[in-house]
Amino acid sequence: MNAFPARGLTLVLAAAAVLAGCATGTTEASPDATGTTAPATTAPATTGTAATAAPDPSRAPAGPTPQGTLLVADFGSDTVTFVDRGRDGSGEGGAPIASVEVGTAPYGLVVGEDGRAWVATAEGVAVVDTQRRTRLALIPYGTETGPVTTGEYRGGGMGIALAPDGRHVYVGVNVPGGNGTVEVIDTATREVTGTVPVGRRPFDVDVSPDGREVYATGHDSFDVTVVDADTLRARRMEVAPYGTEGGLGSWLKPHYAVVRPQDGKLLLPFEGERLAVLDPRTGEATVERMTANTHQHGAALAPDGALLVVGTGPIGADDEEPSLTVRTPGGKERVVPLDGPHEDVAVSADGRTAYVTGGFTRDGHWNGITVVDLNDEKNKPVRLEAGNRPLGIAVL
């Protein structure tokens, strides 16, 4: 392994100071002694915090939910919120139109072709009919996660993905203080049919294009677990371009991944500096340079193959502010400045617009979505009201 870089050492020392009690509040790198967290506080108004927008019943369609509506998981409450994208999807004139109770502290969500959304909450996976805007079921976890809590380190579902054929949902379940699991849900029976041990805090779950493998990104264990979808056999692969020094106190961990369709490799961004390209067949990872120089979380692929990566903001003295990186398949990057921290990103079906959630798993969140025009660099990002601390997002 290469010598640990100066940036990595600086950030590990900073995290160690937090763990030692030199800073107040809960951070990404420092769970409390019990492995859970008190509800996170909202950042000052200077970070862009906004009051929760109440859905406007007069805007809600009388019939099925219109195509293109945004669905967000409200990590700060027990709901998902439906958001009208506004005129031409630009965010102008858009607003929340309805909310549905799903369960405590919803995190990730995924929507199938049948219009059902599967939402990972602290209590179980909620099934939502997005056309009728109603909850159909709440599927409890088979994994013991302790008391139902809220906050960054709460137990329960985190990353979630749907098999290409729609027959199974895979949810990463966080177990405070220990390794997590991936639970397999049969979408027809709405029952958990399998459980696989994975790494710590499975931030993200992805599925290979052919549906044969499931990938769980272990945030606190610096790894990706590859699960055979048929046999549920698993193997774990370290992904740590900065090394693993600092352990739980390190900031330099994997968060979200995307699967590149043309070769099945996983793309995992780190710190706006390095993009780890992981081959799940061999476990080998190559590293490509990135340019945003900011702590990074959510990622998505646009229809043209561009990689979108959310920069949450600085965690070190030399880091840049929040941003959205738009990286072409050839590696050319455009870095779009954002106002305040963000967490996850989704892209419109036509590839013209990105929607970035302001929820953020750490302090500094705000209750909205930033809308970014991906085709016209002259158009400044605009803000769209959403639910309470939105994290996961999908375009219906």
pLDDT of residue 374: 97
Helix (H) / strand (E) element for 7: namely helix 6-19
Amino acid, res. 28: E
Band of pLDDT at residue 1, cut at 50, 70 and 90: very low
- Edge-to-edge strand list for the sheet holding 79-84: 95-101, 79-84, 70-74, 390-395
Q: What percent of the chain has pLDDT over 90?
A: 78
Between 3.60.21.10, 2.40.340.10, 2.130.10.10, 3.40.50.150, what CATH number should domain 6-395 receive?
A: 2.130.10.10
pLDDT of residue 30: 47
What would the pLDDT profile of 323-345 be if each residue is shown by its tens digit?
999 999 999 999 999 999 999 99
> Which has the minimum average pLDDT: 8-17, 176-185, 273-282, 361-370?
8-17
According to DSSP, the residues that pair with 110 across neighbouring strands are 118
What would the pLDDT profile of 255-287 be if each residue is shown by its tens digit?
999 999 999 999 999 999 999 999 999 999 999
For range 195-219, the mean pLDDT: 98
pLDDT of residue 8: 59
pLDDT score of 109 more than 80: yes
pLDDT of residue 62: 82
pLDDT score of 307 more than 70: yes
pLDDT of residue 47: 37
What would the pLDDT profile of 41-92 be if each residue is shown by its tens digit?
333 333 344 567 788 777 888 889 999 999 999 999 999 999 999 988 888 8
Average confidence score pLDDT of the chain: 89
What would the pLDDT profile of 214-269 be if each residue is shown by its tens digit?
999 999 999 999 999 999 999 999 999 999 998 988 999 999 999 999 999 999 99
What would the pLDDT profile of 350-383 be if each residue is shown by its tens digit?
999 999 999 998 888 999 999 999 999 999 999 9
Give the integer Cα–Cα distance in Å for 71 and 396.
Answer: 7
pLDDT score of 175 more than 50: yes
Listed in sequence order, the residues at least 6 apart from 189 whose beta carbon sits closer than 8 Å to its beta carbon are none
Give the integer Cα–Cα distance in Å for 25 and 38.
Answer: 9
- DSSP assignment, residue 283? -
Band of pLDDT at residue 38, cut at 50, 70 and 90: very low
